[in-house]
């Protein structure tokens, strides 16, 4: 999509405003924390792993029992920051990098909106994301979503591009879809199954099954090529195929256990570690793999066994997690002040409703609708099993805002919008 001179000027202004807002938000958030560098426990682990990468030491969190603890994508970014600015770089610099990534995300949303609709929708969509508080927060927290969001948007743009490119370019774009999906998975492990499932749905529901079937090998080849080094590294560490991390068992148990509430509470891990240590001490035969692997298996088996024995409670928890993920205000106590509740509710609720109306107006089987809703559907289904939180809906909201922008930009759909199906 080529923009008119006026649209280019508007886009540049929106990106500039987005960057300034995020930089100001980064400074405000850091000042709000005071002496404490981070507000979220995950941030500490990403920071420490980034330092191990910069130092060239073993990639592990705290000790050798956590060598497959986090995906390396976001720590690699932080490690590069340490390499350029030194090991004592202030946390604010990482937030500034997140602000830049958030601005790229704004551009990615506008880019996809322009490809799916028109330049007016692109400008409106970019403007919405530039000002949306949830997108601003995701940019400045030292969390993997800051890097994941622009990667997700690039993948969706490339996926749409495969439908319009010439036969020769389609293969390269398809391989790019898979490669970007692999990089995104190295940032957020939960993204691993999105691309295969998207291909599966397209093969079943699309009216262009033959094209999808032809491009699927290139997509999967790109995904595997990017993930293969991580898989080989994990096999060298644990002697087992580990597709993402050895936190999958803990994450599953976090969502499925007798005291589960739908929120995250990892206090159970220490008890499981003690149980595994005791079992290992009594083991008379050779131990399987590493302690980290055995602990992960124990947690995974405990979670699945409990869910199998308590299906009604597991279904009830799924409903609780659904409400937590798409709640109209924050579930976390630190964000439940009247002001924060009002900000979340008054900015999120209208966008969600307008986006859903936009999807209805366009039609649920149209390509634009499917592309914009696919991340939301996938992440929602995933977090019906794992814990639910507003954090996990933030990436899903980005493409949904395109549907809201299309409705705002034109109260009636253009005559030919969405004629092609996925």
pLDDT confidence bin for 335, thresholds 50/70/90:
low
Q: Please tell me the predicted confidence (pLDDT) of residue 259.
A: 95
Question: Average pLDDT, whole number, for the chain?
Answer: 92
The answer to whether the CB of 99 falls within 8 A of the CB of 19 is: yes
CB 342 within 8 A of CB 295: no
For the cut 50, the answer to whether the pLDDT of residue 421 exceeds it is: no
Closest by alpha carbon to 15, among 107, 150, 144, 146?
107
pLDDT at 4: 87
Average pLDDT over residues 155-165: 89
188: confidence class by pLDDT, cuts 50, 70, 90: very high
pLDDT digits (tens, 9 = 90+) for 198-245: 999 888 877 778 888 999 999 999 999 999 999 999 999 999 999 999
pTM: predicted TM-score of the whole model, two decimal places: 0.93
Give me the percent of the chain exceeding a pLDDT of 70.
Answer: 95
For residue 264, give the 3-state DSSP assignment. Answer: coil
* Statement: residue 146 has pLDDT above 50: yes
Q: Is the dihedral of CA 400, 401, 402, 403 positive or negative?
A: positive
Residues 6+ away with beta carbon under 8 Å from 388: 262, 263, 320, 321, 322, 323, 324, 325, 331
Are 68 and 238 a contacting pair, CB within 8 Å? yes
Question: For the segment 364-381, what is each residue's pLDDT rounded down to a tens digit?
Answer: 668 889 899 999 999 999
Is the CB of residue 324 less than 8 Å from the CB of residue 388? yes
Q: Is residue 131 left, alpha or beta, with left meaning phi > 0 and alpha meaning psi from -120 to 50?
A: alpha
Q: Would you list the DSSP string of 48-98?
A: HHHHHHHHT----SSSGGGTTSS-SHHHHHHHHHHHHH-TT--HHHHHHHH
pLDDT for the residue 35: 82
Residue 327 has pLDDT above 60, yes or no: yes
Tell which residue, 420, 422, 418, has the closest CA to residue 360: 418
Q: What is the DSSP letter of 287?
A: P
- Split at pLDDT 50, 70, 90, the class of 415 is very low
**In terms of pLDDT, which residue wins out, 46 or 421?**
46
pLDDT at 420: 41
Is residue 203 within 8 A of residue 422, CB to CB? The reply is no
| Domain boundaries, given as residue ranges, for the chain | 5-409
Q: What is the pLDDT of residue 407?
A: 92
């Amino acid at each position: 999509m080529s923009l008119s001179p006026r649209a280019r000027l508007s886009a540049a202004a929106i990106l500039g405003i987005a960057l300034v807002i995020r930089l100001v938000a980064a400074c405000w958030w850091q000042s709000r924390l005071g002496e404490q560098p981070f507000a979220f426990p995950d941030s500490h682990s990403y920071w420490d792993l980034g330092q191990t990468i910069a130092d060239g030491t073993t990639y592990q969190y705290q000790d050798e029992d956590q060598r497959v603890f986090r995906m390396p994508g976001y720590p690699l970014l932080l490690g590069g920051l340490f390499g350029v600015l030194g090991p004592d770089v202030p946390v604010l610099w990482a937030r500034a990098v997140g602000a830049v990534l958030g601005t790229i995300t704004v551009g990615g949303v506008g880019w996809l909106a322009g490809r799916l609709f028109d330049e007016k929708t692109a400008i409106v969509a970019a403007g919405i994301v530039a000002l949306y508080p949830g997108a601003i927060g995701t940019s400045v927290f030292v969390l993997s979503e800051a890097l994941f969001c622009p990667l997700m948007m690039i993948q969706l743009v490339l996926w749409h591009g495969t439908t319009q490119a010439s036969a020769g370019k389609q293969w390269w774009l398809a391989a790019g879809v898979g490669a970007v999906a692999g990089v995104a998975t190295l940032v957020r492990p939960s993204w691993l199954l999105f691309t295969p499932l998207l291909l599966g749905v397209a093969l079943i529901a699309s009216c262009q099954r033959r094209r999808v079937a032809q491009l699927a090998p290139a997509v999967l080849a790109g995904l595997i090529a990017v993930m293969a080094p991580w898989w080989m590294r994990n096999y060298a560490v644990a002697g087992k195929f580990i597709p993402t991390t050895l936190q999958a068992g803990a994450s599953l148990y976090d969502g499925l256990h007798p005291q589960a509430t739908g929120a995250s509470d990892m206090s159970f891990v220490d008890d499981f570690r003690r149980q595994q240590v005791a079992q290992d001490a009594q083991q008379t035969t050779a131990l399987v793999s590493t302690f980290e692997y055995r602990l992960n298996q124990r947690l995974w088996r405990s979670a699945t066994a409990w869910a199998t024995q308590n299906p009604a409670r597991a279904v009830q928890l799924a409903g609780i997690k659904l409400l937590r993920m798409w709640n109209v205000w924050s579930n976390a106590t630190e964000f439940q002040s009247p002001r924060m509740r009002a900000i979340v509710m008054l900015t999120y609720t209208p966008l969600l409703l307008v986006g859903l109306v936009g999807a209805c107006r366009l039609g649920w089987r149209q390509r634009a609708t499917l592309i914009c809703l696919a991340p939301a559907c996938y992440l929602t289904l995933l977090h019906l099993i794992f814990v639910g939180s507003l954090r996990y809906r933030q990436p899903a909201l980005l493409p949904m805002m395109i549907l809201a922008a299309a409705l705002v930009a034109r109260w009636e759909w253009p005559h030919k919008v969405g004629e092609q199906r996925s």
